[in-house]
Amino acid sequence: MAVKVKSQASHAGQTVKVPSTQAELDAAKRVLDKNNLARHLELKQGSATSRNTRIMLGKGGEVSGALIFSVKKGEREAEIDFYAVDPGKRAEGMGGALMRAFLAEMRGAGVSSVLVHPSCELHEPYYAHFGFKRLPPTGHEFYAMAKKL
């Protein structure tokens, strides 16, 4: 399923958008690196991964958060692959604004559910705040949560 992309959305003076330059993709990668995520991931302009990247621009225009997702062809389920906020910008509401904008975009694109694999159970309350529910273990899958849209 092709997800139609909104170019950007604003939340509380912050902008969520698809990166439009290699510099924005590089800044998103730095945010992920600061959180020890996606060390081997390359973000190149025009790639499928770059089209499935959303960035949060802070009030000063700097990239303060990044979310990378995937949607399998022919399916209506999105999966959050990487999601992070610059450690120096946490507790400013940027991560929440990024998540809300992403969920609204997926809902508008006809995605029926979003799946996430939190890095540990300590993150469950954070995702539960957005309506994610823990999935029963299947024996071959990491800890998972899902939200119906």
Tens digits of per-residue pLDDT, 47-101?
Answer: 777 788 888 887 777 888 899 998 877 778 999 999 988 888 778 778 888 899 8
CATH number of the structural domain spanning residue 60: 3.40.630.30
Q: Quote the Cα angle for 61-66-71, to 5°.
A: 135
Using a 10 angstrom Cβ sphere, with 0-12 exposed, 13-18 middle and 19 or more buried, the burial of residue 13 is: exposed
23 assigned to some structural domain? yes
Mean pLDDT computed over 19-25: 88
Alpha-carbon separation of residue 135 from 59, 118, 146 (angstroms):
36, 12, 7
Rg (Cα) of the chain, in Å, rounded? 15
Any domain includes 129: no
Q: What is the pLDDT of residue 1?
A: 36
Number of domains in the chain: 1
Say if CB 115 and CB 77 are below 8 A apart: yes
